[in-house]
Chain A
Amino acid sequence: GDSVTQMEGPVTLSEEAFLTINCTYTATGYPSLFWYVQYPGEGLQLLLKATKADDKGSNKGFEATYRKETTSFHLEKGSVQVSDSAVYFCALSDLNTGGFKTIFGAGTRLFVKA
């Protein structure tokens, strides 16, 4: 079945460092891909999405490119801030095989130090 694999955390960075969180997926169809962020004590909220190959999603300085050839959707940010400390989830949704299910990765916790 469809699945999402993320790099294990936690990831600890200093403020203004470059961030990469790796995400790869397995899907038999052509899924849409998402990054969600969860701040402490809150629900998940959409950070960015891409719906087809080579699309780049971007928001708040974060970006990720849908790479079909490597089945990847890595999250990047050029300069992280303390306020970016949160848990980041990669997710996919594939109408062809999963109905309207959204499958989430395990999440990667990010700590940013001042």
Chain B
Amino acid sequence: DAGVIQSPRHEVTEMGQEVTLRCKPISGHDYLFWYRQTMMRGLELLIYFNNNVPIDDSGMPEDRFSAKMPNASFSTLKIQPSEPRDSAVYFCASSLRGPNTGELFFGEGSRLTVL
């Protein structure tokens, strides 16, 4: 079975450009999470969805960040405009029935560098 698939694996862009990160969760999983990992702040939960509906976006840093889940097999995280402080590894994870009853399955991450 395919795991969580993220694209692109690496993205280098210039400040002010729009960045779109993509995620395909494991088929049948009903929860999807976006995390950001940096050396300074560790792993931060940005937003999570249940059955394609955003449940908690309190971790989204500011209005420049937005996330959508138009269907059960696809989600995007968009940054517009991007800034150097957005440089990080962004992980998507999916879960069945939520992490209190099951594990999180992570993708390999998208490493974003904003110059």
B residues lining the A interface (CB < 8 Å)? 4, 31, 33, 42-43, 45, 48, 50, 55-56, 91, 93, 95, 98-101, 103-109
The answer to whether A93 and B100 have CB atoms under 8 Å apart is yes
The answer to whether B45 and A101 have CB atoms under 8 Å apart is yes
**For B50, what are the chain A residues with a Cβ–Cβ distance below 8 Å?**
100
Q: Shortest CB–CB separation between residue B10 and chain A, in angstroms?
A: 11
The answer to whether B4 and A102 have CB atoms under 8 Å apart is no
The answer to whether A93 and B99 have CB atoms under 8 Å apart is yes
A residues lining the B interface (CB < 8 Å)? 31-32, 34, 36, 41-46, 49, 51, 89, 93-95, 99-107
12 residue pairs A–B, Cβ–Cβ below 8 Å: A36-B104, A43-B4, A43-B93, A43-B106, A45-B105, A49-B103, A95-B98, A100-B48, A100-B95, A101-B48, A102-B33, A103-B45
Q: How far, in angstroms, from A106 to B37 measured CA to CA in the complex?
A: 10
**For B98, what are the chain A residues with a Cβ–Cβ distance below 8 Å?**
93, 95, 100
**For B56, what are the chain A residues with a Cβ–Cβ distance below 8 Å?**
99-101
Query: With A41-B108, A44-B91, A106-B42 in contact, is A100–B103 under 8 Å at CB?
Result: no
Q: How far, in angstroms, from A51 to B31 measured CA to CA in the complex?
A: 19
Partner of B108 from the list A34, A43, A104 (CB cut-off 8 Å) is A43
**For A42, what are the chain B residues with a Cβ–Cβ distance below 8 Å?**
108-109
